[in-house]
């Protein structure tokens, strides 16, 4: 344990948890990787090692999938009454809330996010997702159908559909909201009656391991949830390609999403994907700037810009351009950077060295391509993966910083003349289609623009509003399927049509 972690008073339970060996969960038992190897997990604020975790590879994936297969094909979970399943899901939500402080500290330590955000958002939203899903367990319904078969005149049929669990599901998740992403995936897959092998991101496996223990404590039978910790290529890839997995659900980069599709295509596994974004955030001239300026700042800087839906392309109508540019730049300057576990911190470090190099590489490319850095543009401090909140002006449509997902605290601000078809074209001019924002007091216009944006979520006079009941996901290369809401259950259910002649 290092001194830098000590100064921020971790609770004794968190201290004891991170100090223990971190093994994979397979068939209800915690076990080391088959080859005994581990990998290091870091505190991104200090670059120091905080834990060692089982380095699972194909052999471990095989065991985990076999356990999930056994639990699905013969175990009690898929056949348990929906009401009993719902009670276990509800209990998981309760246990998350009972362990809120521990989970928030773990998340902040490992991911770098401000402890206040983890306490107020990540952990309660994760609990709420399980509570919301618990209610759906008893409400998964088919339909009855009246048939008109032309070649059997006069015949009568009793025809109906059943929604059945899809089977063994591989879930691969990222590091930006480690606990919440695990909850978004596990809540619906368990509600549907599937069994799972979950692979958290190698940067941030700790809160998912803690959550898995809470799931066992809540009464989840062995083998229903298996967790393998490891790297993308050596653990994620064999999981996505495994012949005994029925479905892969992935959240992460569009680049890896494409690899997942290829891996799953061998045996045509079902796939759902929640991928990247380069979301337009549009401020019209009649907007209330007291809302729009902090709103646009939050849209990009929340979670250090490490959000797939970050409002990273800010469009401002000409008359208000200077004022909004100045306002967002001032807000960026005032953001207080520091370790996530310092309660005064408003923005922590990026999650890893790789991300740090990626984001600072984009900043360099923006400068080289001729964008003007209004504020930020550099690393912050000399240690830890901190990057200054950055506002770029004078970008052009062909610049990398304008087109590519940076996944860091970097926003491009560009003016537009009229809220017309050209604005819509520019807002939609990206391979992504995850989210968008509109700031205006003209609600008729806001809804008309919302209808034309090719994005899975449109926020009007707000941004980054998430709720278990609001479906979230992407158009275009931002993904397939939706997370949350009752729509997410479609990712994990098959429809069976049954037709009986009567
Ligand atoms: P990022 O680029 O933001 O780190 P990734 O898409 O690389 O996001 O990672 C998201 C998740 O995908 C992580 O759990 C990672 O280990 C996993 N992953 C990375 N590469 C692969 C791969 N080739 N096959 C399966 N999973 C992968």
309 is catalytic: no
H-helix segments, 370-491? 400-403, 421-428, 443-452
Query: Could you give the 3-state DSSP secondary structure of residue 370?
Result: coil
Q: Taking the CB of residue 368, how many other CB atoms lie within 10 A of it? A: 10
Q: What is the pLDDT of residues 344-358, one digit of tens each?
A: 999 999 999 999 999
Summarize the confidence of residues 290-309 as an average pLDDT: 98
* Nearest ligand 1 atom to alpha carbon 237: 24
Q: How confident is the model at residue 8 (pLDDT cuts 50, 70, 90)?
A: low
Mean pLDDT, residues 228-236 taken together: 98
For ligand 1, is residue 252 a contact (CB within 6 Å)? yes
CA–CA dist 359, 379 (Å, integer):
10
Q: What pLDDT does residue 328 have?
A: 98
Residue 335 is classified by DSSP as P
Per annotation, catalytic residue among 56, 215, 235, 308: 308
| Residues forming a β-bridge with 162 | 496
Q: Is 174 in the pocket of ligand 1 (CB under 6 A)?
A: yes
Query: Distance (Å, rounded) from C-alpha 437 to C-alpha 464?
Result: 9
Question: What residue's CA is closest to ligand 1, atom 4?
Answer: 174
Say yes or no: CB of residue 178 within 6 Å of ligand 1.
no
Q: Which of 56, 252, 260, 478 to mutate to test the pocket of ligand 1 (most atoms within 8 A of CB)?
A: 252
Tokens of 205: 């496996």
Roughly what angle, to the nearest 10 degrees, separates helices 206-217 and 12-19? 100
pLDDT tens figures, 145-189: 999 999 999 999 999 999 999 999 999 999 999 999 999 999 999
Question: Is residue 4 over pLDDT 70?
Answer: no
pLDDT, tens digit (0-9, with 9 covering 90-100), for 390-416: 999 999 999 999 999 999 999 999 999
Question: What per-residue confidence (pLDDT) applies to 5?
Answer: 44
Tell which one of 39, 175, 232, 307 to mutate to probe ligand 1, the residue whose CB is within 8 A of the most ligand atoms: 232
pLDDT mean over 477-498: 98
Ligand 1 center–CA 257 separation, angstroms: 8
Could you tell me which residues are beta bridge partners of residue 69?
none
pLDDT tens-digit profile of 30-40?
999 999 999 99
Spatial distance between the Cα atoms of 326 and 328, rounded to a whole number of angstroms: 6
Which atom of ligand 1 is nearest the CA belonging to 352?
4
Please give the distance, rounded to the nearest whole angstrom, from the Cα atom of residue 22 to the centre of ligand 1: 20
How many C-beta neighbours within 10 Å does residue 375 have?
18
Q: What is the mean pLDDT of residues 427-435?
A: 98
Centre of ligand 1 to C-alpha 173, Å, is 7
Question: What share of the chain in percent tops pLDDT 70?
Answer: 98
- How far is it, in rounded angstroms, from Cα 456 to Cα 479? 9
pLDDT value at residue 1 = 36
**Distance of alpha carbon 4 from alpha carbon 7, whole angstroms:** 6
Q: How far is CA 497 from the centre of its chain?
A: 33
> Backbone dihedral region of 479: left (phi > 0), alpha (psi from -120 to 50 degrees) or beta?
left
Averaged pLDDT, 249-270: 97
Probe target for ligand 1 pocket from 201, 208, 230, 269, with the most ligand atoms within 8 Å of CB? 201
CA distance 1 to 41: 12
- Is the pLDDT assigned to residue 6 strictly greater than 70? no
With a cut of 80, say whether residue 260 has pLDDT above it: yes
240 lines ligand 1 (CB under 6 A): yes
Beta-carbon contacts of 256 under 8 Å, excluding residues fewer than 6 positions away, are 232, 236, 250
d(CA 487, CA 482) in angstroms, rounded, equals: 6
What pLDDT digit, counting tens, does each position of 262-279 carry? 999 989 999 999 999 999
Question: Mean of the per-residue pLDDT values for the chain?
Answer: 97
Of 67, 42, 89, 59, give the one whose Cα is nearest residue 205. Answer: 42
Give me ligand 1 centre to Cα 262, in Å: 14
Share of the chain above pLDDT 90, in %: 98
- Among candidate residues 203, 274, 405, 483, the one labeled active-site is 274
Cβ atoms within 10 Å of 6's Cβ, excluding its own: 10
**274 has catalytic annotation:** yes
DSSP character for 157?
E
Q: What's the confidence (pLDDT) of residue 9? A: 84
């Amino acid at each position: 344990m290092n001194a830098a972690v000590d100064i921020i008073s971790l609770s004794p339970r968190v201290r004891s948890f991170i100090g223990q060996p971190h093994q994979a969960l397979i068939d209800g038992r915690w076990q080391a990787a088959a080859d005994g190897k581990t990998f290091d997990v870091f505190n991104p604020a200090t670059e120091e090692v905080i834990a060692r975790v089982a380095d699972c590879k194909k052999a471990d994936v095989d065991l985990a999938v076999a356990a999930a297969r056994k639990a699905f094909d013969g175990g009690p979970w898929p056949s348990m009454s929906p009401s009993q399943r719902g009670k276990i899901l509800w209990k998981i939500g309760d246990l998350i809330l009972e362990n809120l402080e521990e989970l928030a500290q773990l998340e902040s330590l490992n991911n770098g996010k401000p402890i206040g955000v983890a306490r107020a958002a990540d952990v309660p939203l994760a609990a709420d997702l399980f509570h919301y899903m618990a209610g759906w367990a008893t409400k998964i319904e088919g339909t009855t159908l009246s048939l008109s078969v032309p070649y059997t005149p006069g015949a009568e049929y009793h025809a109906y559909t059943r929604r059945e669990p899809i089977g063994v599901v591989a879930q691969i998740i990222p590091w930006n909201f480690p606990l919440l992403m695990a909850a978004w995936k596990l809540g619906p897959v368990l509600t549907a009656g599937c069994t799972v092998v979950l692979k958290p991101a190698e940067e941030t496996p700790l809160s998912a391991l803690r959550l898995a223990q809470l799931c066992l404590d809540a009464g989840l039978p062995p083998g229903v949830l298996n967790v393998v910790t490891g790297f993308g290529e050596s653990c994620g890839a064999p999981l996505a390609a495994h012949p005994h997995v029925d479905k892969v659900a992935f959240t992460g980069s569009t680049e890896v999403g494409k690899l997942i599709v290829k891996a799953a295509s061998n045996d045509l596994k079902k796939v759902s994907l929640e991928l990247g974004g380069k979301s337009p955030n549009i401020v019209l001239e009649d907007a209330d700037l007291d809302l729009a300026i902090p709103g646009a700042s939050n849209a990009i800087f929340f979670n250090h810009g490490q959000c797939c839906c970050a409002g990273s392309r800010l469009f401002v109508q000409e008359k208000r351009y200077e004022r909004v540019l100045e306002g967002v730049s001032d807000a960026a300057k005032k953001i207080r950077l520091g370790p996530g576990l310092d309660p005064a911190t408003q923005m922590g470090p990026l999650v890893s060295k790789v991300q740090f190099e990626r984001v600072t590489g984009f900043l360099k490319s923006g400068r080289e391509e001729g964008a003007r850095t209004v504020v930020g543009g550099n690393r912050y401090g000399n240690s830890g993966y901190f990057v200054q909140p950055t506002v770029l002006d004078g970008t052009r449509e062909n610049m990398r910083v304008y087109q590519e997902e940076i996944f860091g605290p970097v926003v491009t601000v560009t003016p537009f003349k009229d809220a017309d078809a050209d604005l819509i074209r520019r807002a939609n001019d990206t391979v992504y289609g995850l989210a968008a924002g509109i700031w205006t007091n003209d609600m008729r216009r806001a809804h008309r623009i919302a209808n034309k944006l090719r994005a899975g979520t449109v926020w009007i006079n707000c941004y980054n509003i998430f709720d278990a009941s609001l479906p979230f996901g992407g158009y275009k290369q931002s993904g397939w399927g939706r997370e949350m809401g009752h729509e997410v259950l479609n990712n994990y259910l098959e429809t069976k049509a049954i037709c009986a002649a009567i």
